[in-house]
Amino acid sequence: MRLRTIVMLTICVAMLVVPSTASALPSMPSSLFQTSAGCGCHTAFVDQWSVSMHAKALTDPIYLYELKLGEEATGGALGPFCNACHSPIGVMSGELTSLDHSKVSPGGMEGVTCDFCHQVSGTAGDVIGNTSTAVTGDGVKLGPIADPQPGPAHEATYSEFHRSAEFCGNCHNVNHPGNNMPLEATYTEWKNGPYAAEGVVCQDCHMTPGPGVIKPREGTAAAGGPVREHVPMMTFAGANVGLGDAARAEERLRSAATLDLRVPDIAEGGDVTIQTTITNSGAGHYLPTGLTDMRQMWLEVTATDADGTEILKERRDFGTVLKDAAGTYPVYLWDAVGVQSDDRIPPRESTSNEYSFPMAEGAVTVRAALYYRTCSEEVAKKAGVEIPTTTMAEVTKTVYSSPDEVGMTDKEFRASQDGTGGLLGLAITIVIFGFMAIAIVLMRVMMKKEA
């Protein structure tokens, strides 16, 4: 208990001492930023964004629940750090302190809102992450269109930065404000992976209609605007089925991984060995990514006999477990000094497991399923929300106990058995060729005699 107090105090002091790493956001009044209500020419974008987690970043009950715990644990030192990403306008304007939303302007309440992102001009400082965002505050909207024709509503200028992963990385890399350890590293995972090398950025997967890279998407960026070759979407769909755009999040989760299950067709007894392989086939970063000490992704493997009795039940959890200075784990991210364990799947990589069970009398049904939740049922309950479990992938296969069960003849079964069929075939071939060779020799001898 005493050690815990010391650790906590050290962290609090460290946070106060190193405020520069906490947030690079400038100070600016909220009046420099419009609310989404002012974006009436872009109604499609407003509809897409308003169901996203960006729009809900400050009002998200899971966020507020965790922030409250963090504030209690650190004596209020955490608030400005956390809020910087979850409501940059609220923090820049000084209207948002800790959990008190009473002075926050409507723009600040909109979390990560349109006019914040569209007044971002680059990265401030050398390290990407912890809101390392350069903001103009001059009202000119920055975006990816080379020849913007905005009309009288506002000015607009071309920004190459909006097509970069660094734009997202400014917030999608979170380092501990006291000890700088990476807590969320989606940007770094992407940067070190195959997608960065191929030039596929976050926007290509998270700002397009469906999973994968769906480009170009012809359309207009504003009512009455010219038709453009590619128009992105402001969906920012990820994995939050419970609080975000459920349909889009489910679609993305189901596209993220492929699950392979190998079982023998028939086992007449003994131990049956089965193998599962999960491949991160669709995510541009680790699976899971982001807040991986809280996210839950797990593989469940079961084998059930003909009577419905479970003869195998295994679970493997993917994610990170954080530890504190005393080596205790799991701990909350503000207490963390290191990672106790890390079981996640890098982009395009696979991970396999073998399991075995004693064969039953009759056929056995083997099922492997990969599940995802944004947080545990316990956390959801405490935050007062319902968070569903999503099935990312599932495979079911049957192991038969005899050839009869499959309707195979005994010969077909023998042929299907490992090696046996091949060897038998080889033996028969050798015998046939042997007879043919002898026949040819005999015929020659007989023909010679006749001549």
Nearest residue (CB) to ligand HEC, 263 versus 393: 393
> Would you count residue 42 as binding ligand HEC (CB under 6 A)?
yes
Name which of residues 357 to 396 contact ligand HEC (CB under 6 A).
374-375
Closest approach of Cβ 193 to ligand HEC, in Å?
9
Nearest residue (CB) to ligand HEC, 88 versus 403: 88
Show the binding pattern over residues 279-298: x = contacts ligand HEC (CB under 6 A), - = does not: ---xxxx-xxxxx---x---
Name which of residues 56 to 95 contact ligand HEC (CB under 6 A).
56-57, 60, 62-63, 66-67, 70, 78, 81-82, 84-86, 88
> Would you count residue 46 as binding ligand HEC (CB under 6 A)?
yes
Show the binding pattern over residues 238-267: x = contacts ligand HEC (CB under 6 A), - = does not: xxx--xx----x--xx-xx-----------
> Would you count residue 107 as binding ligand HEC (CB under 6 A)?
no
Only one of the segments 89-97, 203-211, 270-278, 427-435 lies at the binding site for ligand HEC (rule: CB under 6 A); that segment is 203-211
Name which of residues 403 to 442 contact ligand HEC (CB under 6 A).
none
List the one residue from 90, 108, 232, 319 that touches ligand HEC (CB under 6 A): 232
> Would you count residue 318 as binding ligand HEC (CB under 6 A)?
no
Closest approach of Cβ 107 to ligand HEC, in Å?
11
Closest approach of Cβ 227 to ligand HEC, in Å?
10
Only one of the segments 127-135, 267-275, 304-312, 408-416 lies at the binding site for ligand HEC (rule: CB under 6 A); that segment is 127-135
- Please write down the HEC assignment for all residues of the chain: CHHHHHHHHHHHHHHHHCHHHHCCCCCCCHHHCCCHHHCHHHHHHHHHHHCCCCCCCCCCHHHHHHHHHHHHHHCCCCHHHHHHHHCHHHHHCCCCECCECCCCCHHHHCCCCHHHHCCEEEECCCCCCCCCEEECCCCCEEECCCCCCCCCCCCEEECHHHHCHHHHHCCCEEECCCCCCEEEEHHHHHHCCHHHHHCCCHHHHHCCCCCCCCCCCCEECCCCCCEECCCCCCCCCCCCCCCCCHHHHHHHHHHHEEEEEECCCECCCCEEEEEEEEEECCCCCCECCCCCCCCEEEEEEEEECCCCCEEEEEEEEEEEEEECCCCCCCCCHHHCCEEEEEECECCCCEEEEEEEEECCCCCEEEEEEEEEECCCHHHHHHHCCCCCCEEEEEEEEEEECCHHHHCCCHHHHHHHCCCHHHHHHHHHHHHHHHHHHHHHHHHHHHHHHHC
List the one residue from 21, 123, 130, 401 that touches ligand HEC (CB under 6 A): 130
Closest approach of Cβ 12 to ligand HEC, in Å?
13
Only one of the segments 228-236, 259-267, 408-416, 426-434 lies at the binding site for ligand HEC (rule: CB under 6 A); that segment is 228-236
Residues 6+ apart with CB under 8 A from 80: 22, 23, 91, 97
Show the binding pattern over residues 157-196: x = contacts ligand HEC (CB under 6 A), - = does not: -----xx-x-xxxxxx-x---------x-xx--x----x-
Show the binding pattern over residues 133-152: x = contacts ligand HEC (CB under 6 A), - = does not: ----------xxx-------
Closest approach of Cβ 384 to ligand HEC, in Å?
12
Burial class (CB in 10 A: 0-12, 13-18, 19+), 167: buried
Closest approach of Cβ 47 to ligand HEC, in Å?
8
Only one of the segments 37-45, 258-266, 348-356, 395-403 lies at the binding site for ligand HEC (rule: CB under 6 A); that segment is 37-45
Nearest to residue 281, comparing CAs of 388, 371, 393? 393
Only one of the segments 12-20, 34-42, 321-329, 357-365 lies at the binding site for ligand HEC (rule: CB under 6 A); that segment is 34-42
